[in-house]
Structure 1
Amino acid sequence: MLSARPKIADLVLQFYGRSLHPELFEVHRNRVVQRSAYTATLNITTTGHVVCWQQPEGITLNEVATSALHDLPLKRRLMSYRVRGTYDDRIECAGGLVYETSVDIEQADNDTLRSYQQGLQLAGEKNSVLLAFESGGRVGLGAFSYIHFESRARSLRIQALHTFPDDGVILKSQSSFTLPAE
């Protein structure tokens, strides 16, 4: 298991059509969103985040932002991207569920990183999960992870933001899980 925030160059975003063992991740904060059609668990991990979507019918999906060095299974991995620049993807899953994601990397100096972190800390944790990591690098500014969610009866929208102060980068992602209308 990794114990430090990876370099942005090592980061991957993966999507699985299966459950992943919780012991694979060092979870620092989490939040559970419960609806009649699904349960979602939003985890901030040392290396990024894990969003686990579960439906009562037994369908389980996982979005994982982590280091490429993190040894995760290949079985039923539906998507894997090295995080570079901007990209969008869409996957139609079992039962008509649609998963969509959009990822962007933004260069940021220390003042911009501090500003983001202060603004998000002031926003609080209503409909969100956030964590400020201690500084462990040369810039004296700790990493920050923030996940905001919008939960509806048949959909969940996630906005995640992770800072990488040693790399001068902010990773921004938006993902949605949408069930078909009944």
Structure 2
Amino acid sequence: MLSVRPKVAELVYALYGRPLHPELFEVHASGTFARGDYRVKIDITNTGHVITWQCEGLTWTEVSTAVNHPLPIRRRLMFHQLKAKHHDEFVGRGGVSYSIDFQLETVQPEIFWMFQHELSREGPGQGLFFQFKPSGRMPLGAISFIAHQARNKSLRIQAFHTFPDDCALVRSTTVFRLP
């Protein structure tokens, strides 16, 4: 298991058609909720996040992690290395759909620190939030912030992960839709 935040160049997004074992991840913050016919568990991990969405016997698990993190291959539906911008969609049985938009942005240090301070000030209480310890050479540790908008037939999740050593921001928007 990884014990430190990975370099942003090592990040991947994957979607699985099954739950993943919780012992695969070091979880720092977690939240669960249910709405309509679905249930969701969101975990902030040291490498990013794990979102497990369940509805009527269907389970999809989105993972944002490092490429060298030991993950199974069985029932993996998507796998993308995080580079610049990307969009992908998947439609499962019964018309249930999943879409992901993610973006990696390396910015000037001044902009990064402004965003980092804004997240640390506004994030707590607005969603799932965790601030990592500083790496030693940076004054603030990395931040992960995840917010959601739940409706009976859809769920929209926005995630922000910062990487101070790289002055990089990772933003993702995930949408689960029922027909």
Which residue of 1 is the match for residue 152 of structure 2?
Answer: 153
Q: What letter is aligned with 1:22? A: P
Alignment of 1:1-182 (within 5 A): 1-55=1-55, 57-126=56-125, 128-180=127-179
Q: CA RMSD in A?
A: 1.4
Structure 2 regions of 5+ residues with no counterpart?
none
SS in structure 2 at match of 1:49: strand
CA contact (8 A) 2:120 2:143 kept: no
Query: Which residue identity lines up with residue 15 of structure 2 in the other structure?
Result: F
The answer to whether the Cα contact below 8 Å between 2:36 and 2:151 also exists between their aligned partners in 1 is: no
Contact 2:158 2:172 in 1 (8 A): yes
Kept in 2, the 8 Å contact 1:127–1:150? The answer is no
> In the alignment, residue 142 of structure 2 is paired with which amino acid?
A
Measured after TM superposition, the shift of residue 126 of structure 1 is 4.5
Q: Where do 5+ consecutive residues of structure 1 fail to align?
A: none
Contact kept, 8 Å, 1:127 with 1:148, in 2: the verdict is yes
Distance 1:127 1:62 in 2: 23
Taking structure 2 as the reference length, the TM-score comes to 0.94
Q: 8 Å contact 1:33–1:151 — kept in the other structure?
A: no
- Find the aligned partners of 2:39 and 2:70 in 1 and give their Cα distance: 26
Inter-partner Cα distance in structure 1 for 2:143 and 2:152: 30
Structure 2 CA distance for aligned equivalents of residues 6 and 110 of structure 1: 19
Task: Tell me the SS of whatever aligns to 2:117.
Answer: helix
The DSSP-based 3-state class of the residue aligned with 1:142 is coil
Q: Distance between the aligned counterparts of 1:164 and 1:122, measured in 2?
A: 17
Query: 1 CA distance for matches of 2:47 and 2:168?
Result: 14
How far off is 1:58 after superposition? 1.5
Count of aligned pairs between the two proteins: 179
CA distance in 2 between counterparts of 1:28 and 1:142 reads: 14
Q: Please say if residues 137 and 166 of structure 1, whose CA atoms lie closer than 8 Å, have aligned partners that are also in contact.
A: no
Deviation at 1:124, TM superposition (A): 4.0
Compute the displacement of 1:140 (Å). 3.3
